[in-house]
Amino acid sequence: MAKSDKQVWISSGKFTLLERVAMLVFGVFTFHFLVSILNKEDYGTWMLFISIHAFIDTARSGFFKNPLIRFLNQKEVLRQESLQTSSLLLNLGFSIIFSLILLLAAIPIANSWNAPGLVPLIYVNVVLNVVLSFFTHYEYIQAARFRFKGTMIGNLIRSGLMCAAVFVYYIQDVQLDLWTLAWYFTAAAFAGAAYMFFSSRDLILFSWRTDKSWIKQLFNYGKYTLGTNLSAVVMRNIDTWMLGWYISPAAVAIYAVAIRIANLFEVPTMALAQVMFPQAVQKAESEGPAALKSLYENSVATLQVMLIPLVIVVIVFSDWIVELIAGPEYAEAGFILNITMLYGLIIPFNKQMGILLDAVGKAKTNMLFVARNAIINVVLNALLIPIWGIPGAAWASLFTMLLVMGINQRYLNKNFDVTLAAVFGNMLKVSKELPARAKAILNR
């Protein structure tokens, strides 16, 4: 990797890693406060709402983030005012359409999960969707220019305010209803969006005249990454949704505790993914697809070196961790956490492949692959939850990821000459270099 490339990775990685670590801390405390002040039914309902929010947010990211970053990083991009304006208008239109669909479907969705408290939360989500149109637009523009300091602060404002609001109810031992909680969630997003605008104002370009050609290009590329992200969010949430359908929101609450704890340890994966996509686009543009072999093998190896010790520690102390964060009433989540922690070792192999495919313009291929993965997960959850209950959802997701990893590695080897042997070899190299890399990041 060239010296300039290393400098970009170190500088960008520093802010994204700091962002993810800080959000992890806020997430742990918010999670702890919520499970302490909400009963299992309410917490399960809240997690169903969060899964709907994640569904829309992930779809939005797929439809707008990757296409905007890709086009902004192409050589000799003209009419950037029209490009940014077209992306923002599509983002707003996306929010309005999804909001209307949710308004019409709110009661049927709540009835299917036996969660009547979900209906008012879905109504609040209409306002949240509009706020996030602006939040994400300003975030994506900065990410395209490797300006991760602004996105870091904007996301920390959002997470920190939410944590502070819940903390007030926690220390005062006051009941918090879900309707109020949803408005705090929205207000925190608005504050984050305001800062995102402030930090990206020198990058924002706007035109009162829209360009149909940009709208067409963004839509044609985005429809595939939208399909990819929708399939991905179905794969990541179908276990939660099917537990709600088969059992109850209380079962969702128990399962969600294990998932939320496991997700806390995905910080390195998410941080590296955020930096890797614009870097991969530039490499594909300047050096061709062959350059992405080393990018994939190095990034996966780095993540594995960081994750393996974390996974081992959490599995050994899983029962203690669950009791510390969620309390003894969620003790049965300890066994589920052991299974879900294994996801962390498999996710980098599959996630980094998706980034690679999008970077070289194979968005349609990536979409079809992820849709296949979602179908496999739906089938396995439908088979295993009725047999094993809550643990069945965790086993279904783990089996899906293992199967998908095997299929994906065969494809990567055939088309990009990627090998697992090279990944494992790089893991040894990264292990030796990690102290020096950490020192370099801290000294910048």
Question: Rounded to an integer, what distance in angstroms lies between the CA atom of residue 354 and that of residue 33?
Answer: 35
Instruction: Return the half-sphere exposure (C-beta side, CA atoms, 13 A cut-off) of residue 398.
Output: 18
* CA torsion, ordered 160, 164, 165, 166, to nearest 10 deg: 100
User: Nearest 5°: CA angle at 25, between 230 and 168?
Assistant: 100
The model carries a pTM of: 0.72
Question: Which residues of the chain fall short of a pLDDT of 50?
Answer: 1-4, 6-10, 441-442
pLDDT tens-digit readout, 230-251: 787 788 888 999 998 888 888 8
pLDDT tens-digit readout, 179-238: 999 999 999 999 999 999 998 888 877 766 666 777 777 777 777 777 777 787 788 888
Amino acid at residue number 430:
V
pLDDT tens-digit readout, 257-312: 888 888 776 666 666 555 555 566 666 666 766 667 888 888 888 888 888 888 89
Task: Kindly list the domain boundaries of the chain, sorted by start residue.
Answer: 3-429
Q: What is the 3-class SS of the chain, one letter each residue?
A: CCHHHHHHHHHHHHHHHHHHHHHHHHHHHHHHHHHHHCCHHHHHHHHHHHHHHHHHHHHHHHHHHHHHHHHHCCCCCCCHHHHHHHHHHHHHHHHHHHHHHHHHHHHHHHHHCCCCCHHHHHHHHHHHHHHHHHHHHHHHHHHHCCCHHHHHHHHHHHHHHHHHHHHHHHHHCCCCCHHHHHHHHHHHHHHHHHHHHHHHCCCCCCCCCCCHHHHHHHHHHHHHHHHHHHHHHHHHHHHHHHHHHHCCHHHHHHHHHHHHHHHHCCHHHHHHHHHHHHHHHHHHHHHCHHHHHHHHHHHHHHHHHHHHHHHHHHHHCHHHHHHHHHCHHHCCHHHHHHHHHCHHHHHHHHHHHHHHHHHCCCHHHHHHHHHHHHHHHHHHHHHHHHHHCHHHHHHHHHHHHHHHHHHHHHHHHHHHCCCHHHHHHHHHHHHHHHHHHHHHHHHC
pLDDT of residue 2: 47
* CA torsion, ordered 254, 258, 264, 265, to nearest 10 deg: 180
pLDDT of residue 282: 65
* CA torsion, ordered 250, 255, 257, 258, to nearest 10 deg: 160
